[in-house]
Chains A and B, each alone.
Chain A
């Protein structure tokens, strides 16, 4: 079992650029979550999907953030345009039961 796979592991980009983060959930898991982690705010749920359908995107901070899940094995989180305050570690997690979420290794995003 390869676990949840995220790419890239690190991303450095200039303010105003578009950033796309990618996630491959564990095969057979029907729920997918995108989290953001910062020192100040801890782990924040941005959006989650169930059976590829976005269920709750109330955590998405602004319209600059969007997420898609075109199929059961792939999801993207896009930030356009990026801003320095978007710098954080972004985690993707998947689960069969909501309570037992398995996290990827994260993408550390730095916007300069």
Chain B
């Protein structure tokens, strides 16, 4: 079945550093989404991307829909302690009835 390869699996950074993570697929998606999950909570939608090449920002977060439609990137600038959590990418193919999720990137920030 469809799979999304998300990398890195984990990141350990210092507060204030920028963060980059990405998601790749062997097949095309029409929509890419990025979710964040805090400990003990459900995933929360951060950014949704609908067009190839689209670059969208949400505060310090910026995400891009890859031009090939097979990848997406999420960047976090000037990380702060509350950015800690697990970030998931998800893809949706037009006409499909469900999302495909990546394995997640666990972000840890050292103060």
Residues of A within 8 A of B (CB): 4, 33, 42-43, 45, 48, 50, 55-56, 91, 93, 98-106
Instruction: Decide if B99 is an interface residue (CB 8 Å cutoff).
Output: yes
Kindly specify which of B39-47, B61-69, B73-81 makes contact with the partner chain.
B39-47
A102 contacts which chain B residues (CB < 8 A)? Answer: 45
**Does B41 lie within 8 Å of A105, measured CB to CB?**
yes
Q: How far is the CA of A50 from the CA of B98 in the complex (A)?
A: 11
Q: Secondary structure at chain A's binding surface: helix, strand, loop or mixed?
A: strand
Residues of B within 8 A of A (CB): 31, 33, 35, 40-45, 48, 88, 92, 96-99, 101, 103-104
Interchain nearest-CB distance for B102 vs A (Å): 8
Count of CB-CB pairs between chains A and B under 8 Å: 46
Partner of B101, one of A4, A42, A104: A42
**Does A91 lie within 8 Å of B97, measured CB to CB?**
no
**Does A98 lie within 8 Å of B98, measured CB to CB?**
yes
**Does A99 lie within 8 Å of B42, measured CB to CB?**
no
**Does A56 lie within 8 Å of B48, measured CB to CB?**
no
B44 contacts which chain A residues (CB < 8 A)? Answer: 103
A4 contacts which chain B residues (CB < 8 A)? Answer: 42
Q: How far is the CA of A48 from the CA of B110 in the complex (A)?
A: 39
B41 nearest in chain A by CB position: A105
Interchain nearest-CB distance for B54 vs A (Å): 13
Partner of A55, one of B31, B33, B41, B97: B97
A105 contacts which chain B residues (CB < 8 A)? Answer: 40-42
